[in-house]
Amino acid sequence: MPERPPCSRKRPISDGEMTFPDPILIVAPAGRDAQVVSQLVGSAGMATLVDEDGSILLDAIRSGEGAGAFLTDEGYAHLNLSELRDALKHQPLWSDFPFVLLTSTGGRNSDGAPETSSPHMTILERPCHPTSLVAAARTLMRTRARQRMAGRQLNELEATRVQLRNLADTLEVQVSERTRDLATANARLTAEISERERAEARLLQAQKMEAIGQLTGGVAHDFNNLLTSVIGALELLLRKAADPMTRQLVEIALSSAEKGANLTAQLLAFSRRQRLDPTAIDPNEIVQGMVEMLKRILGQHIEVETRLVDPVWHALADPTQLEVMILNLAINARDAMPHGGRLEIETRNIGAREANSLGDLSDQDYVALIVDDTGSGMPPDIVARAFEPFFTTKETGKGTGLGLAQLYGFAKQSGGAARIESEVGIGSKVWLYLPRTLRDIVPPISDTRVPDQGRRGRILIVDDDENVRIILETMLETLGYDVVAAGHGPAALEVFEAGQFSLVLTDIAMPLMSGVELARKIRARSPDTPILFATGYADFQAFGPELSDQIIVRKPYHIADVAEQIDAALGTTGS
C-alpha cells in the first residue's frame, strides 16, 4: 500500500482573522471529482488533501486533525460505516468533525445507505455552483477553527483543574502538616504552661513560707526575751524559797514556762533561726540507731521496717536535730495509724540530675531520708498547708501543728528541702533531702579538761531588755562573778575600754549596734577576751568567719546553762 501523505501542512492557511493549519480532506474515489473539488477549494486559498480510501479521514477524526471533509456519494459508499461511527464516538471531547456531502440522491448514496449521524453534516446536491462549494469549504474551516479554540479552552480548563487538584492535594498535606505542627506546639505550650504554673505555685508557697518564717521568727525573739525573764526569775526564786507550797507553785510556773520555751524552739526551727551544728553523718547509722527506740514509742501494733541503700552517701546535717525530725515524723505516723499499720524508713542517694528535676533543689547530690506510713493519708488541700506552723488536723490538745513546720525549717536551713506525698486511705510519704558531703565522719572527742573548783572573774553583760539584764546579772552574781551591765553596744564599748573583763556576754539583736558588730569591735581592741552570744533569734549567716565558732547561750536559758557555757568559754569547770 502506498504511504499516505500527512494530514497537516507546515504553512497555515488564513481566511481573514481565522487561521487554518490543517487541509480539507476530499474523499471522492470516482471520476474527476477529487481533482475538481481540490482545484476549486485551492483557488480560494485553502489547502486540501485527497483521501482515496477514507483511511486518512478515520485517523483524522480520531486524532482531532483535519479541517473537515468533502465526501461524494462514491466516497461515502467506500467507507466502513461501523469504523466511521466508532471514530466519531472516540474523537476528542472538543471535536465534532464537520462534513460536506456532495450527493445527487438527496442525502443517500447510490446504494441507499443512510448518511452519517453528524450534527455538522452539510449536504450539497450536484451539480452545485462553485461559489456554493467554496462557501461550504469556508464553513468547514470556520467550524473547525471554533472547535479548536474550544479545545484549547477545554485543555486550559483541564490544566487548571489539574493544578487545582494538585494544589488541593498539596494544601491538604500542608494543612495536615501544619495541624500536626500546631498540635505539637500546642502540646509543648500546654506543658510549658503547666510547668510554669507548678513553678509559680512552688514560688508562691516558698514566699508564703518565708513570710511566715520571718513573722514567727520575730515573735519567737520577743517571746524568748519574756521567757528568759520569767524562767530566770523563777529559778532564782526557787533557790531562795523555803516553804514547800511556794516551791511547788514556782515549779509549776517553771514547767509551764518550759513548755513555752519548747514552742518557741519549734518556731525558730521553722523560721530557720536555730543554731545548727552540721557535720558529716551516715544516715543509715542514724536510722539504725533509732529503730529500737521507735519500736518502743510506736507500740506493737505498728511494724517498723527499714530499707537502707548501701552504700549511702555521707550527708551534711546536725545529727541531734535529724534524730528529732525522725522522731517527730514517726509520732505523726503513729497518730495517723490508730488501728496499726506499717512505718518504713528508707534512705536513697539522689543524683544532681534527679535533684534538679524536682524544682526545689540545687544542681548537686543529695541524700533522701523517706518516712512512709500506711495511715489515713491527706487530701491535696491539706498537703499544701502541712508545713505551715500551727496548722493541724488533729483534735484540740493533741498537736501543736509545729512538727512538720520544724521539719521544713530544718531541711531549708540544712541546705535541702522537704516534701510530702499523700493519698487518702493509702498513707503518707515524707521526703527529707539533705546535701551530700565528701567529708569524712569524725567521731566525737570526750572532754578531758581538769576541773577547777571555783568561779571567779569579771563579766560584762549587754542586753537591750532591762528585765533580761537584771535576771542575768542576778544569775551571774549568784554564781560568784563580778558583773557589769550595759543596755546597748556603744555603752558597752565605753565600759569595756574603762576596765578589765574576763568575758563579755552580749545579746545579738539590739538597736544602735548588733551583738556581732560589738564583738568585732571588742575583738579588735582585745583579741583574747572570750565573747559569748545570748540569743533566741538570729541570722547566723551574719557571723563572719572569725566569729562563726563562738559559743551561743540560747534564750530562754537556765542558770545551769549559763554557768556551763561560761565555764566552757573560760576553760574552767565550776563546782
Q: pLDDT (tens digit, 9 = 90+) per residue, 346-361?
A: 999 988 888 877 777 8
Q: Grid coordinates in use for 297?
A: 514509742
Give the 3-state secondary structure of residue 462.
Answer: strand
Report how many helices (DSSP H) and strands (DSSP E) the chain contains, helices first. Answer: 15, 19
pLDDT over 60 (residue 199):
yes
Is this model's pTM higher than 0.75 or not? Answer: no
pLDDT of residue 445: 45
Smallest Cα–Cα separation from 64: which of 100, 111, 96? 96
DSSP lists the bridge partners of residue 301 as none
pLDDT of residue 248: 73
pLDDT of residue 4: 41
CB of 367 within 8 A of CB of 282? no
pLDDT over 90 (residue 470):
no
pLDDT over 60 (residue 341):
yes
Phi, psi (degrees; rounded to nearest 5) at 479:
-80, -10
CA distances from residue 233 to 196, 257, 321, 451, 574 in whole angstroms, order as listed: 54, 11, 29, 29, 22
- Cβ neighbour number for residue 210 with a 10 Å cutoff: 13
pLDDT of residue 95: 86
Select the more confidently predicted residue: 268 or 482.
Answer: 482
CA distances from residue 93 to 146, 234, 538 in whole angstroms, order as listed: 13, 119, 99
- Residue-wise over 186-196: b if at least 16 C-beta within 10 A, else e? eeeeeeeeeee
| Mean pLDDT confidence for 234-253 | 74
Cα 385 from chain centre: 23
Residue with cell 515573735: 219
Smallest Cα–Cα separation from 405: which of 222, 201, 215? 215
pLDDT over 90 (residue 22):
no
Confidence band of 110 (pLDDT split at 50, 70, 90): very low
| Mean pLDDT confidence for 126-147 | 88
> What residue segments make up the domains of the chain, in order of their start?
13-153, 278-435, 458-570
How far is it, in rounded angstroms, from Cα 29 to Cα 53?
Answer: 7
User: Of 94-103, 296-305, 499-508, 554-563, which range is least confident?
Assistant: 554-563
Q: What percent of the chain has pLDDT over 70?
A: 76
pLDDT over 80 (residue 431):
yes
Select the more confidently predicted residue: 86 or 448.
Answer: 86
Dihedral (CA of 400, 401, 403, 409) sign: negative
DSSP lists the bridge partners of residue 368 as 348, 433
pLDDT over 70 (residue 447):
no
pLDDT of residue 453: 36
CB of 356 within 8 A of CB of 316? no
Confidence band of 462 (pLDDT split at 50, 70, 90): very high
CB of 546 within 8 A of CB of 540? no
Q: Grid coordinates in use for 454?
A: 571555783
Smallest Cα–Cα separation from 564: which of 517, 485, 520, 505? 505
How far is it, in rounded angstroms, from Cα 47 to Cα 23?
Answer: 5
| Mean pLDDT confidence for 335-345 | 90
Smallest Cα–Cα separation from 563: which of 447, 459, 484? 459
Give the 3-state secondary structure of residue 521.
Answer: helix
Residue with cell 557555757: 565
CB of 7 within 8 A of CB of 60? yes
Q: Which CATH number fits domain 278-435: 3.20.20.70, 3.30.565.10, 3.40.50.720, 3.40.1380.20?
A: 3.30.565.10
- Cβ neighbour number for residue 170 with a 10 Å cutoff: 10
* CATH for the stretch 13-153: 3.40.50.2300
Mean pLDDT of the chain: 78
Residue with cell 514517726: 330
| Mean pLDDT confidence for 82-104 | 88
What's domain 458-570's superfamily in CATH? Response regulator (3.40.50.2300)
Dihedral (CA of 40, 1, 111, 143) sign: negative
CA 325, 232, 462 angle in degrees (round to 5)? 95
pLDDT of residue 444: 55
User: Of 234-243, 377-386, 430-439, which range is least confident?
Assistant: 234-243
Select the more confidently predicted residue: 200 or 96.
Answer: 96
Could you report the per-residue pLDDT of 154-180, keeping only the tens digit for each?
A: 888 888 888 888 888 788 788 888 888
CA distances from residue 458 to 232, 467, 502, 504 in whole angstroms, order as listed: 20, 21, 5, 9
How far is it, in rounded angstroms, from Cα 168 to Cα 165?
Answer: 5
pLDDT over 50 (residue 365):
yes
CB of 49 within 8 A of CB of 57? no
- Equal fold, 13-153 vs 278-435: no
User: Of 3-7, 230-234, 348-352, 361-365, which range is least confident?
Assistant: 3-7
What number of residues does the chain have? 575
User: Of 43-47, 251-255, 283-287, 519-523, which range is least confident?
Assistant: 251-255
